[in-house]
Amino acid sequence: MATIAAKAAAAKLAEDVVVIDVSGQLVITDCFVIASGANDRQVNAIVDEVEEKMRRAGYKPARREGTREGRWTLLDYIDIVVHVQHEDERNFYALDRLWRDCPIIAVDLEDVQKDVSGDGA
């Protein structure tokens, strides 16, 4: 599930895509997928791609937050929570640093076909 979200984000040229196993620290979810975009439009394009790929795989978010602003969108799939942040928000809130004691889940993003069409990214 997290792999689908991470690869979808990478397909829209998201930067610094990381999957963090927070299951040892939180009871509400198993992992965070964190990705960032350079601008509001790219953040929204990443969110759209993640939702589309997750929907095709049979998953629907239980909750969506921040989709209008394009600065930090949270997609809650219960087992995973996807954070797509503008790079400024990612640097400021530093979720990676906050959860640095949690294990990183390796996801191979090398084989992801990148969408360089310019629509939204």
Whether 95 is in a domain gets the answer: yes
Whether 115 is in a domain gets the answer: no
Q: Which long-range contacts (CB under 8 A, 24 or more apart) does 50-56 make?
A: 50/5, 50/8, 50/9, 50/75, 50/82, 50/84, 51/75, 52/8, 53/4, 53/5, 53/7, 53/8, 53/11, 54/1, 54/4, 54/5, 54/8
Q: Considering only 42-46, 84-88, 113-117, which range has the smallest mean pLDDT?
A: 113-117
State how many domains the chain has: 1
Segments forming the whole domain that contains residue 93: 2-105
**Residue 97 pLDDT more than 80?**
yes
Top pLDDT among 90 and 70 is at 90
Confidence category of residue 112, pLDDT binned at 50, 70, 90: confident
Distance CA(118)–CA(42), nearest Å, equals 10
Rounded to two decimals, the pTM is 0.91
Q: Which CATH number do you get for residue 57?
A: 3.30.460.10
Task: Decide: 43 and 10 in contact? Cβ < 8 Å.
Answer: no
